[in-house]
Structure 1
Amino acid sequence: MSKSFERYQKRKLISSYFSVTLSIGLVLFLLGILGLLVLNTQKLGDHFKEQITISVFFRDSAKQVEIDQLQKSLVMADYTKSAVYVSKEEAAELHSEEIGENFMEFLGYNPLKNSIDVQLNAAFVSPVQVDSIAGVIGEKSFVEEVSYDRPTIELLSENVQRIGLGILVASAVFTLIAVLLINSSIRLSIYSRRFIIKTMQMVGATKAFIRRPFIATSVKLGMIGACLALLALYGLLVYLDGNFPELGLLDDLPQIGLLFGVVFLLGIFIAGISTFFATQRFLNLRTDDLYY
């Protein structure tokens, strides 16, 4: 009977440890994802800004040497990420592929223009700056039209900062929720051993002596949970970087290392401080109050 009860208690303790470790790991994993979003908000915003294209269309009378000179000047400009020349023949092929038929067979000629597709560096993508750049290019006599999606540029400029602020607020709220969830899991674990705490206290053990093994155990569980969270976080980063290499999520290794370090230390700190207050609560209770 005694051995059966001991096995039951051991299984119950292991189950308690497992649930605490799992809850710490899941919460820290989600917290790490929010941390990645905070760190990469600007990078994501820059990525979308650099997808904006300014299309420079040329008159039929434009000479190739003029087009080449403009392309070279655009490539050398500070605001340019890339400047790609697209001939009217290439444009016709691309358009035919998009619509699934050769439109020139119906028209009998190619109505498209030679053009240069210009992608800007993110720092120069704002309505005022793009208008200024397009105005300078459009002054060339051999340029017929400069086309770009101004409403999209306005939306990007307005929303990138709002999204960044929103993610910061969400991260702060979720950090608080993470602390409360981990604290609740640890308190439940300590609650199941409240009688052991009181028994140790009744035989003369000091509060610091009683707290020490509980805090040490919780810190170990916090470390294990944090390691599980970091492994999952690293796997997510590798997956995203493999599928979206243009985002460069693994380019800034020191920044990622700092985030991983913060998540690891946060797991240890929350586990340790939650255990301290949970054990302190039961140490301060009277024996009769342990039954309620």
Structure 2
Amino acid sequence: MISKFDRFQKRRLISSYFSVVLSIFLMLFLLGVLGLFVINSKNLSDDFKEDITMTVFFKNEATTDSLQLFEAQLKSAKWVKDFKYVPKEVAAKEHQAVIGEDFMEFLGMNPLQNSFDIHLKANYVVNDSIEKIQSKLRENQMISDASYDKQLVTLVNNNIEKVSMWILIVSGVMALIAVLLINSALRLSIHSNRFIIKTMQMVGATKSFIRRPFIWKGILLGIIGAVFAVVALMGLLYYLDTTFPSLGILRDQIMTGAVLLGVLVTGIIVTAISTFIATTRFLNLRTDDLY
């Protein structure tokens, strides 16, 4: 018949394991979220860069053939993500919708020009590259101008560099905090077994023999916590992908899978190392220090 003390000890042990698994789950989940943010931050920054438009205006004397030739050149250009031809009649209607009146009636003519709105690939949305492209386009005698928001390009690139640096710093700090908290939770769990450890040592058990079951139990708890974290991350990814499909959160499936696998591996490695260190600490304590 199980005594009240045994039941109390069993409940305390289960509570201890639950707190360890919960700590591992929370830390690995937060670490996984940060990892997913890091790999998707480049995609987000690239999307923002590729939303910046370069507008190429053609002179009124530009023929249909010259416009078609330029369109063909854009299709083969490696720096072009996409483009749209905007006839001056369409541009006039868009301006009328913005200002709320027919400016052509006042001027008696359409002063606008045929143009192409070009979105560049993210790698080319830096001042040096985009200025070279602009200069190259202006060599076309049928082009009156090629313009883009230079200040916006500078601002975007500077901010992306700053954000990337802070992401790396935060990632490092979060990884360190996760390791320390998981280590602390496992130490508290092993602390309740310190007398058992010392008793086994006193009857002649070797340190490796004593450590082995604790390490395997720590790894098991790490796997359980990591699996819960991976499942929660997959649920978060599914929610974001269905709610905000424009983010393309699952665009890079290889890197996403690597983060999820990294969460699982981290849970195993950190718990194994933390359990090894914690058990070694209690093995090296004197009997009087256990109290």
Q: Decide: shared fold, TM above 0.5.
A: yes
2:197 corresponds to which residue?
197
Structure 1 counterpart of 2:269? 269
Aligned to 1:183: 183
Once residues 194 and 105 of structure 2 are traced to their aligned partners in structure 1, the CA distance between those partners, rounded to angstroms, is: 86
TM-superposed CA distance for 1:264, in Å, is 1.0
Identify if the C-alpha distance between structure 1 residues 243 and 145 changes in structure 2 by more than 3 Å, giving closer, same or farther: farther
Give the 3-state SS of the residue equivalent to 2:116 in structure 1: strand
The equivalent residue for 1:147 is 147
Structure 1 residue 117 displacement after superposition: 0.3
Percent of aligned pairs with the same residue? Answer: 50
Query: Per the alignment, do residues 172 and 155 of structure 1 end up closer, same or farther by CA in structure 2, a change over 3 Å counting?
Result: same
Q: TM-score w.r.t. structure 1 length?
A: 0.87
Q: How many residues align?
A: 289
Shift of 1:50: 1.4
Task: Give 1:190's aligned amino acid.
Answer: I
| Partner Cα separation in structure 2 for residue 254 and residue 262 of structure 1 | 12
Structure 1, unpaired ranges of 5+: none
Aligned equivalent of 1:104, options 95, 102, 105? 102
Q: Give the alignment's TM-score, normalised by structure 2.
A: 0.87
Shift of 1:95: 4.6
Contact 1:138 1:145 in 2 (8 A): yes
Matched residue, 2:39: 39
Please list the CA deviations of residues 6-53 of structure 1 after superposition, one character each: whole Å capped at 9, or x if unmatched: 222222111111111111111111212222233344333322221121
Letter in 2 for 1:103: E
What's the offset of the Cα at 1:146?
A: 2.1
Distance between the aligned counterparts of 2:101 and 2:142, measured in 1? 26
Q: Distance in 2 between matches of 1:181 and 1:107?
A: 72
Q: Which 10-residue stretch deviates more, 71-80 or 213-222?
A: 71-80
| Whole-angstrom CA distance in 2 between matches of 1:136 and 1:148 | 14
Q: Which residue of 2 aligns with 1:17?
A: 17
Cα distance between partner residues in 2 of 1:189 and 1:32: 24
Cα root mean square deviation, aligned: 2.6
The farther-off stretch of 177-186 and 232-241 is 232-241
Change (3 A) 1:22 1:92: farther
- Listed as ranges, the gaps of 5+ residues in structure 2 are none
The runs of at least 4 aligned residues of structure 1 exceeding 6 Å deviation read: none
5 Å matches for 1:111-260? Answer: 112-260=112-260
Q: Aligned with 1:123: secondary structure?
A: helix
Q: After alignment, is 130-139 or 180-189 more displaced?
A: 130-139
**Displacement after TM superposition at 1:181 (Å):** 0.8
Instruction: Tell me how far apart the structure 2 counterparts of residues 103 and 40 of structure 1 sit (CA, whole Å).
Output: 43
CA shift in 2, pair 1:126/1:105, >3 Å: closer
